[in-house]
Structure 1
Amino acid sequence: MNVQAYVMFNGRTEEAIEFYKKAVGAEVTALMRFRDAPEAPPPGMVPENWGDKVMHSSFKIGDAEVMASDGCQSDAEGFKGISLALSVKSPDEAERVFNALAEGGEVTMPLAKTFFSSNFGTLADRFGVSWMVVTHD
């Protein structure tokens, strides 16, 4: 069994992927646009002008695969109740990825030494995705 995160970006998936490529070295493994679907979605499920939007994508961050889509609506509420946990090997790497992900976002707990890690911090990136960065040293 395997559980993977599937993140809905409500029309901003391509922008998010480009951001994650730069911030954490994401590598795209698949990308399909709504216009490429073999059958049209049911009426009203996808806005008419969404042919170029991302129907499905996947990308790797380290050994983990994250899937993403623009979803079927552009007005959904932001992310709540879930965080992506990014484990890194060194304090320097933690600082680098934390600062990159925080660009245009909001830091909710700055990177700091905790009883369980030499560096731990939390943030919401510019897309509203909640992240926890933790150093395992």
Structure 2
Amino acid sequence: MDACPYLNFDGRCREAFAFYAEVLGGRIDFLQTFGESPGCDGMAMPRDAVIHASLSADAVRLMGSDCPKERFRPMQGLYVALQIDDPDRARRVFEALMDGGRVEMPFAPTFWSAGFGCGTDRFGTPWMVNCTRAP
């Protein structure tokens, strides 16, 4: 069994997934809009809104879509947690994700890790970046 985060966006899924692919060094495996999807005529979504996207980077898999504005709720109560063994790479990923976002805990060494930081990116996705190397 596998699990992966499924992220919802208020019309910015395509932009967010392009950003995540660049920052994480991954690729978008699938991206389809409502306009490209069979059976979506008459749905209350813009034709260019993303109905489903999938991204892979190393062992990370993210999926997501845009959702109707009346059903959109900002993400809360969870973080996408990245475990990175190289402290320099972990810092670079964290700083890139937080560009234009809101840092809750700056990336720094902790008692459990050579580096840890958390915050919410400019798309509203909460992230934790943890270096798996001990301090």
Q: What TM-score results when the alignment is normalised by the length of structure 2?
A: 0.90
Provide the C-alpha distance between the structure 1 equivalents of 2:34 and 2:6, rounded to a whole number of angstroms: 17
* Match of residue 78 from structure 2: 82
* Match of residue 22 from structure 1: 22
* Match of residue 104 from structure 1: 100
Q: What TM-score results when the alignment is normalised by the length of structure 1?
A: 0.89
Q: Does 1:51 align with 2:51?
A: no
What's the offset of the Cα at 1:46?
Answer: 2.6
* Match of residue 94 from structure 1: 90
Equivalenced residue count is 133
Q: Does 1:73 align with 2:60?
A: no
Provide the C-alpha distance between the structure 1 equivalents of 2:118 and 2:90, rounded to a whole number of angstroms: 11
Q: Is the 8 A contact 2:82 2:127 kept in 1?
A: yes
Q: Is the 8 A contact 2:21 2:55 kept in 1?
A: no
Provide the C-alpha distance between the structure 2 equivalents of 1:69 and 1:52, rounded to a whole number of angstroms: 11
After superposition, give the CA deviation of every residue in 1:9-55 in whole Å (9 maximum; x if it has no partner): 121001101211222223101111101121126x5x533xx101110
Provide the C-alpha distance between the structure 2 equivalents of 1:33 and 1:76, rounded to a whole number of angstroms: 17
Q: Is the 8 A contact 2:8 2:72 kept in 1?
A: no
Provide the C-alpha distance between the structure 2 equivalents of 1:6 and 1:40, rounded to a whole number of angstroms: 20
Structure 2 segments unaligned to the other structure (5+ residues): none
* Match of residue 7 from structure 2: 7
After superposition, give the CA deviation of every residue in 1:62-114 in whole Å (9 maximum; x if it has no partner): 21211110123366231100100011111100111011001000110011111
Provide the C-alpha distance between the structure 2 equivalents of 1:24 and 1:53, rounded to a whole number of angstroms: 23
